Amino acid sequence: MPLPCDYHNHPQAHVLQPYTLDLLQPWIFRARQAGIRSLAFTDHDRYHEGVDFDVVDRLREQHPDVQILIGIELDNDPVTSERGARWVEQHWEKLDFVLGSVHYLPGAAEMFDRADQSGQLTDRYGLERAFDLYRAELQKILQRGLIDCFAHLDLIKIHHLYPEGYEPAAWFGPVLEMIQAAGLAIEASTAGWRKKVGEQYPHVAILELARAGSLPVTTASDAHAPAQLGADFDRLEQVLVQARVANLVRFARHKPMPEENAASGKMP
Ligand SMILES: [Zn+2]
Ligand SMILES: [Zn+2]
């Protein structure tokens, strides 16, 4: 059976587009085609003004066979994320699911994960320091709170550049311990296969550690168009089997539940 949940999707893509049924419906049609029975809309918090809870309620009424979560991807944008965090706080009860992400290294005006920004890692900070700073930013957003799940935990590898002697499990072990202590989840994402790194997020050794610590794991494509929904989920399933990840979860109202116990597709 294909993986049934995709919990990282951007209907607004990279520009403010207020939610309408016309904008969201293609995602539901694609979900049915792809065998996705539970999906989350998680637009970037800088576009929170486009999120419309009433439109999502209407969508749910029209498509009761697909579980539709309303979420957001709250990052560490030096300009917008403070306002984003306030919005999440104000709408926490209405939101099902909040992703936490690090897209910026300190002092940088551009996201490091853009295709043209590998120089931030190699020239501006140096790889070792960039990886260190990235991990410190993860800790900061953990301390800020207001999230349920970490997106693309080892995104810093996106340009396929690593410090000397880099060991994913050793590097991210302390972060996983903090995530576990905070009771949060991590996502297994196919988006890295579409980037230079050519590997899912996070590395299989990190997934193995997550399994050892019984961390809840969600599945995600980071789709920016309906056609990407559930992209490469067959391949992701093989990685999850390889890492023996047994704690796949779905969410509703910020609560994780084992996937198999929530197979009805209905909101609790
Ligand atoms: Zn992201
Ligand atoms: Zn995203």
- CA of 21 from ligand 2 middle (Å) equals 21
Give the pLDDT confidence of 190-231 residue by residue, as tens digits.
999 999 999 999 999 999 999 999 999 999 999 999 999 999
- pLDDT exceeds 90 at position 257: yes
- pLDDT exceeds 90 at position 266: no
- CA of 209 from ligand 2 middle (Å) equals 23
- CA of 9 from ligand 2 middle (Å) equals 7
How high is the pLDDT of residue 85? 98
Residues in contact with 120: Cβ distance below 8 Å, sequence separation at least 6, in sequence order:
105, 108, 110, 112, 130
Helix (H, G, I), strand (E, B) or coil at 47: helix
- pLDDT exceeds 60 at position 28: yes
Proximal ligand: closest to the CA of 44: 2
pTM, to two decimals: 0.95
What's the mean pLDDT in 57-66?
Answer: 98
> In the chain, what percentage of residues exceed pLDDT 70?
97
How high is the pLDDT of residue 203? 98
Q: Strand 217-220 vs strand 185-189: parallel, antiparallel, or unpaired?
A: parallel
Which pair of structure tokens corresponds to residue 217?
Answer: 């794991």
Confidence class for position 151, pLDDT limits 50, 70, 90: very high
Which residue is listed with tokens 């050892």? 212
Proximal ligand: closest to the CA of 8: 2
Which amino acid does the sequence have at 42? T
Whether 47 and 72 have beta carbons less than 8 Å apart is answered as no
- pLDDT exceeds 70 at position 10: yes
What's the mean pLDDT in 169-195?
Answer: 97
- CA of 243 from ligand 1 middle (Å) equals 23
Give the pLDDT confidence of 85-106 residue by residue, as tens digits.
999 999 999 999 999 999 999 9
Proximal ligand: closest to the CA of 223: 2
How high is the pLDDT of residue 2? 79
> What element of type H or E holds 28?
helix 21-34
- What are the chain's domains? 5-262 (3.20.20.140)
Which pair of structure tokens corresponds to residue 11?
Answer: 């209907």
Confidence class for position 1, pLDDT limits 50, 70, 90: low
Confidence class for position 268, pLDDT limits 50, 70, 90: very low
Which pair of structure tokens corresponds to residue 78?
Answer: 């030096």
- CA of 154 from ligand 1 middle (Å) equals 11
Give the pLDDT confidence of 107-146 residue by residue, as tens digits.
999 999 999 999 999 999 999 999 999 999 999 999 999 9
- CA of 8 from ligand 2 middle (Å) equals 6
Q: Rounded distance, CA 227 to CA 196, Å?
A: 20
pLDDT mean across residues, the chain? 95
How high is the pLDDT of residue 264? 37
- CA of 235 from ligand 2 middle (Å) equals 19
Which pair of structure tokens corresponds to residue 27?
Answer: 């995602």
- CA of 101 from ligand 1 middle (Å) equals 6
Proximal ligand: closest to the CA of 104: 1
Confidence class for position 259, pLDDT limits 50, 70, 90: confident
Which pair of structure tokens corresponds to residue 109?
Answer: 């005006």
Confidence class for position 262, pLDDT limits 50, 70, 90: very low
Bridge partners of 40? 69
- CA of 8 from ligand 1 middle (Å) equals 9
Residues in contact with 151: Cβ distance below 8 Å, sequence separation at least 6, in sequence order:
8, 42, 73, 99, 100, 101, 187, 189, 201, 220, 222
